[in-house]
Homo-oligomer: A and B are copies of this chain.
Amino acid sequence: MENMNIGHHISRQFNEELEDVRNQVLIMGGLVEQQITDAVKSLVEGDSRLAEEVIENDHKVNGLEVAIDEECTQILARRQPAASDLRLVIAVIKTITDLERIGDQAEKIARMGLHLSQMERPKGQYYEVQSLGERVIKMLHQTLDAFARMDVDAAIKVSQQDDKIDHEYDGIMRKMVTFMMEDPRSIKRSLDVIWSVRALERVGDHSKNICEYVIYLVKGKDVRHTEYMKKAVED
């Protein structure tokens, strides 16, 4: 009886640790989403103070990554989890790497925002960045939702939004090349816009990666580099 209680207690504590790690990932995800949102806003509105805030806050994202990573390593060492618990810890280790890199993209966009705030504003008012930004932020938000609910179907659907992001990105690129050819003086500004939409496109890639970890976590299959997701939807 004594032993059972201890066993029960340890198991409960273990569950709490896993739950805590999941919550921390969601906190990190929320912060990263805010960073991307603020970065896009700072660029579109020419708000250099907000851009500086985003750059300043990146260390918080990095700090969370290191802390969660450490917690995962501790859990692997002390709890020696098996099956789905093990997959959760591995999925978390991978997810926070992508979240940290989304954070880096937010910082990059904010730096472009700082640059651009000192230049003459174009007629389009950075409409392309705003539009692609909204799409990417929506995808990131839904990715974190799928992670929170461990929802495979949602993860599959969300990951497919990446194609639309790539498509919109290609269209913006063609437009920017035309701008630059028509007005070479706009090249420097156009390049900053290009870097920014490029960064947003990469946020889409990272979100897709996280969706794939969710699928791996629940299904226990490695879906990267396979046609699994396509098939899953056709089925």
B93 and A73 contact, CB distance less than 8 A:
no
A76-B90, A97-B97, A225-B63 known; A188+B184 contact, CB < 8 A: no
Which 3 residue pairs spanning A and B have beta carbons closest together? A80-B80, A62-B225, A181-B184
> For residue A181, which residues in chain B have a CB less than 8 angstroms away from its CB?
184-185, 187
A47 within 8 A of B: no
Q: Which of B69, B73, B224 lies in contact with A62, CB distance below 8 A?
A: B224
Copies in the assembly, this chain: 2
Residues of A within 8 A of B (CB): 59, 62-63, 65-66, 69-70, 73, 76-77, 80, 82-83, 86-87, 90, 93-94, 97, 173, 177, 180-181, 184-185, 187-188, 191, 194, 222, 224-225
Q: Separation in Å of the A221 CB from the closest CB of chain B?
A: 10
What is the CA–CA distance of A62 and B225 in the complex, to the nearest angstrom?
A: 6
